Amino acid sequence: MKRYSVFAVAREAMRQHSGWGRAWSNPEPKTSYDVIIIGAGGHGLATAYYLGKNFGITNLAVIEKGWLGGGNTGRNTTIIRSNYLQDASAALYEKSRSLYENLSQDLNYNVMFSPRGVMMLAQTQHEIRGYQRTAHANSLQGVSTEFIGPSRVKELCPIMNIDGPRYPVLGALWQPRGGSARHDAVAWGYARACSDMGMDILQQTEVMGIRQKNGNVVGVDTTRGNIACKKLGMVVAGHASVVAEMAGFKLPLESVPLQALVSEPIKPCMDVVVMANTVHGYMSQSDKGEMVIGGGTDGYNAYTQRGSFHHLEETVRALIETFPMVSRLKMLRHWGGIVDVTGDRSPILSKTPLGNTFINCGWGTGGFKAIPGSGWGFAELMANGESPLTAGFGLDRFRVGRFIDESVAAGVAH
Amino acid sequence: MLVLNCPYCGLDKDETELSAGGEAHLKRFGPGSSDEDFEGYLFERTNPKGLHFERWRCAFGCGKWFHAARCTATLEVFGTYKAQTLEPPKVIKDVITTKRPGWSWRNFS
Ligand SMILES: Cc1cc2nc3c(=O)[nH]c(=O)nc-3n(C[C@H](O)[C@H](O)[C@H](O)COP(=O)(O)OP(=O)(O)OC[C@H]3O[C@@H](n4cnc5c(N)ncnc54)[C@H](O)[C@@H]3O)c2cc1C
Ligand SMILES: [Zn+2]
């Protein structure tokens, strides 16, 4: 792999950019691998990367039915934060946030991590109490967050109207080290690093079946033939129930569309990320100047990668009170992704009823922020059979009732 | 906009007039049942890509719960039926058979 650097840019500028080469290879499938990961989203690719980097496992294929990063990873609104309530979540998300800080250097790929600060608005008395509680929990967990008052909110985000008639801004949970990153670049950076370690990323290859023998996985059937493996990781987000069914088990998941939209690009006007959970809206400004807006999920199961129009309408309508300037913006594009939601709004990183088969799913509306940490922990789980980071997130928690309840604050958590 | 016909008031309802109630025909397990059954009833879901049977409520209409047979991949609606039944009625099954020959869902086919 050619390292990207200022010298590389200068060198290529001198020779009309003729020497860049492919970022990752496009190989033919081998007949067998030590490990197969299904799904080349951020979580699948990060898992592969840390399996190689931390455990030396590189005879590995990541199998993707579309193009890498084309699932939820390339469709999300890129909010990165770690101010969760429960200890198990805070550990996992904070590990992830801290890995993001050096990810560009680690991958030699600019993922444009921007720790510009994330604020979650309190617009009801209930939210004030909820976020104060989270701030206290975070200080015990070593996650730096702070509950701030309305005037500080206004100072950090002047375009906000804090005394709206219906939902005045009463304060906010502020995490200065949260922020955002470039979603595609996260997938591309991991893919490039995986390919460099000799792993195969097989795009346009759909897994259609899972082969088992004596209760253990032995391979997968794909649209490009059968491929054998010793260990299997399922990392397919919205399609987790579909792939689990191929292996013969059910999951505690529902798949629903979640939508986002962007406006026309405008001059810089907002340099923090704002989430307003009561009205189900959140907004940030991309480096291109577009206002990136997301809302709540649809109420019923669907796999269509587009949601109901009235949800977008509700999101934008809700944001207008708090951000009056939104009413003058033209919206350019909107799209949806299929998110996999669990009952306690926490992910599943787990062994499965099928031997040597592991599943990473249930990230729902909020797994972009977790990509590095999830990959780190899930790789350890796949390599060693256990990991302190993933310990509480097993499938067995639904049987024994040991939930990691993150649904308390609001139905949206991005 | 998803439109379902409420089998009680007989009217076509936009999804904004309805509320979704999740997977239909779940067998309820309570105290005294095995952990496995209880977990299955509370959490495990079919979540299929394709034909699905669901509970819906005519929330801003007559207020009654009913059932719908729907495709989660295309959003096609196969039909709706009243809630007082443990399995989809034959008319609904016949409609599905013409559109999705060889279908199966949980123990139904
Ligand atoms: C609109 C929207 C906004 C969001 N906003 C945020 C946010 O602000 N912050 C945040 O942290 N999170 C956010 N999320 C959630 C986040 O995007 C996801 O949790 C995360 O990207 C999931 O990554 P993944 O790698 O698990 O899944 P994906 O990126 O979806 O990757 C799974 C891959 O598996 C592939 N696949 C599926 N079935 C098969 C098969 N049979 N064979 C081969 N391949 C298969 C798919 O094609 C897909 O590429 C948002 C999501 C959406 C949709
Ligand atoms: Zn009705």
Is the pLDDT confidence value at B100 over 80? Answer: yes
Same domain for A305 and A351? no
Kindly state whether residue B104 falls inside one of the protein's structural domains.
Answer: no
* Cβ distance of A299 and B19 shorter than 8 Å: yes
Which pLDDT score is estimated for A380?
Answer: 98
Q: How close A305 comes to chain B (CA, Å)? A: 9
Q: Is residue B86 part of a domain?
A: yes
Domain final residue, candidates A310, A342, A374: A342
Is a pLDDT exceeding 80 seen at residue A371? yes
Mean pLDDT, to the nearest integer, of B66-84? 97
Domain count, chain B: 1
> Helix A183-196 to helix A42-55 angle, to the nearest 10 degrees?
40
Which of A168-172, A289-293, B11-15, B30-34 is predicted least confidently? B30-34
Query: pLDDT-based confidence at A255, cuts 50/70/90?
Result: very high
- Identify the domain boundary among A288, A311, A342: A342
Domain harbouring B75, CATH code: 3.30.2270.10
**Any domain includes B45:** yes
Among A342, A365, A384, give the residue marking a domain's end.
A342
Whole-number pLDDT of residue A408 = 55
Domain with A365, as residue range(s), is 25-82+183-251+344-410
Do A132 and A162 fall into the same domain? yes
Question: pTM above 0.95?
Answer: yes
Confidence of residue A317 (pLDDT cuts 50, 70, 90): confident
* Residue A95 confidence (pLDDT): 98
Q: Are residues A327 and A366 in the same domain?
A: no
Mean pLDDT across the stretch B50-77? Answer: 97
Residues A357 and A322 in one domain: no
The CATH number linked to A237 is 3.50.50.60
A124 and A261 share one domain? yes
The C-alpha atoms of residue A9 and residue A12 are separated, in whole angstroms, by 5
Residue owning tokens 């709540």: A296
Which of chain A's residues have a Cβ under 8 Å away from the Cβ of B51? Answer: none
CB contact (8 A) between residue A303 and residue B73: yes
Question: Measured on CA atoms in the order B96, B100, B106, B109, is the torsion positive or negative?
Answer: positive
Q: Would you say residue A100 lies in a domain? A: no
Measure the CA–CA gap between A92 and A406, rounded to whole angstroms: 13
Domain for residue A106, yes or no?
no
Q: How, if at all, do strands A216-222 and A225-234 pair?
A: antiparallel
Question: Which residues 240-269 in chain A show a CB within 8 A of chain B?
Answer: 241-242, 245, 250-255
Q: What is the pLDDT of residue A193?
A: 98
User: Mean pLDDT throughout B6-25?
Assistant: 97
Q: What is the pLDDT of residue A340?
A: 96
In a domain, A87, yes or no: no
What total number of domains does chain A contain?
2
Residue A278 has pLDDT above 90, yes or no: no
Q: Whose C-alpha lies nearest to ligand 1, atom 3?
A: A76
Burial tier of B61 (Cβ tally within 10 Å: 0-12, 13-18, 19+) = middle
Residue A21 in tokens:
């080469």
Residue B60 lies in a domain: yes
Region A79-84: what's the mean pLDDT?
Answer: 96
Nearest 5 degrees, angle CA B43-CA A254-CA A340? 120
The answer on pLDDT for A411 being more than 60 is: no
Q: How much is the average pLDDT of A19-27?
A: 94
A309 in B contact zone (CB under 8 Å): yes
Average pLDDT over all residues of chain A:
95
Contact A170, A119 (CB under 8 A): no
Gap between the Cα atoms of A338 and B11, Å rounded? 30
Is B107 part of a structural domain of the chain?
Answer: no
Residue nearest to atom 19 of ligand 1 (CA): A367
Q: What band does A409 get if pLDDT is binned at 50, 70 and 90?
A: very low
* Domain containing residue A298: CATH number: 3.30.9.10
pLDDT tens, A198-210? 999 999 999 999 9
Host domain of residue B66: 3-99
**Interval A377-392 mean pLDDT:** 97
Interface test with A, best of B3, B43, B55 (most A CBs within 10 A): B43
Q: Please tell me the distance from the alpha carbon of residue B92 to that of residue A68, in angstroms, as a whole number.
A: 40
Same domain? For A317 and A261 the reply is yes
Tell whether A350 and A245 lie within a shared domain: yes
* Residue A295 and residue A154 in one domain: yes
Go through A230-258 and write b for each residue having 16 or more CB atoms within 10 A of its CB, e for each that does not. bbbbbbbbbbbbbbbbbbeebbbbbbbbb
Q: Cβ(B84)–Cβ(B34) under 8 Å?
A: no
Q: What integer is the mean pLDDT of A95-120?
A: 98
User: Does A38 lie in the same domain as A54?
Assistant: yes
- CB distance A241–B2 less than 8 Å? no
Distance A25 CA to ligand 1 centre (A): 22
Residue B50 falls within a domain, yes or no? yes
B90 Cα–ligand 2 center, Å: 22
Residue A11 falls inside a structural domain: no
Q: Which residue in B1, B39, B45 is closest to A253 by CB distance?
A: B45
* pLDDT at position A77: 96
- Shared domain for A356 and A270, answered yes or no, is no
3 state SS of B15: helix
Facing B47 at nearest CB: one of A253, A308, A310: A253
Find out whether the beta carbon of A64 lies less than 6 Å from any atom of ligand 1: yes
Q: What percent of chain B has pLDDT over 90?
A: 97
What is the per-residue pLDDT across A113-170, written as a single tens digit (0 to 9) for each? 999 999 999 999 999 999 999 999 999 999 999 999 999 999 999 999 999 888 999 9
Q: Check if A117 has its Cβ closer than 6 Å to any atom of ligand 1.
A: no
Query: A352 lies in a domain?
Result: yes
Nearest residue of A to residue B49 by CA position? A303
Answer yes or no: is B105 within a domain: no
The pLDDT of residue A2: 83
